[in-house]
Homo-oligomer: A and B are copies of this chain.
């Protein structure tokens, strides 16, 4: 029971996650996952009763990983900002997004990609992706909690739309400036909504 470093299950999910992200989910066969993980097929099907279950496990893992990456990025970049703390956190958030979208391994948002591969909105995979996006909005709302806003949720949704636009634009058109573009817009929005027009 107690065994070296990682459980086989965890190792499978980690390997599958990388492959699904790089090659797409439907573009990656179970056998490919097993080869890369160096694990027997039976072991996989002892832990997951179908590929779909493995897919869902990878998305849940990615959700954890991504949120952690975001929070670490915000922490890292917010110190380099000046002015209102909540304002600085939002800017740091877009810096984190930029660092990610310009990184070497970047291949779009795993959840947006998965949603595209499973277009049906009632499919479990699609549902999980929607949940993740809702979590991100919630997180943005938390980042802005120090600001005085007419409708904080509304602004969080705006910033989330902006984020998704930047991610997709960066991936489809290989644009390395997408996140900066989004950040620039975010600054405009924040300025508008925190200092009333007159």
- Write the nearest CB–CB distance from A9 to chain B, whole angstroms: 25
The contact size tier of chain A is: 35 or more
Q: Are B158 and A185 in contact (CB under 8 A)?
A: yes
Q: Are B115 and A117 in contact (CB under 8 A)?
A: no
* Oligomer copy total: 2
Label chain A's interface by main secondary structure. Answer: helix
Segment of A32-40, A49-57, A64-72, A165-173 engaged in the interface with chain B: A165-173
Contacts of A160 in B (CB 8 A): 165, 169
Given contacts A27-B119, A168-B168, 6 further A-B contacts (CB under 8 A): A27-B117, A112-B112, A116-B116, A119-B171, A133-B172, A161-B182
Residues on A facing B (Cβ under 8 Å): 21-24, 26-27, 107-108, 111-121, 126, 129-130, 133-134, 154, 157-158, 160-166, 168-169, 171-175, 178, 181-182, 184-185, 188-189, 192
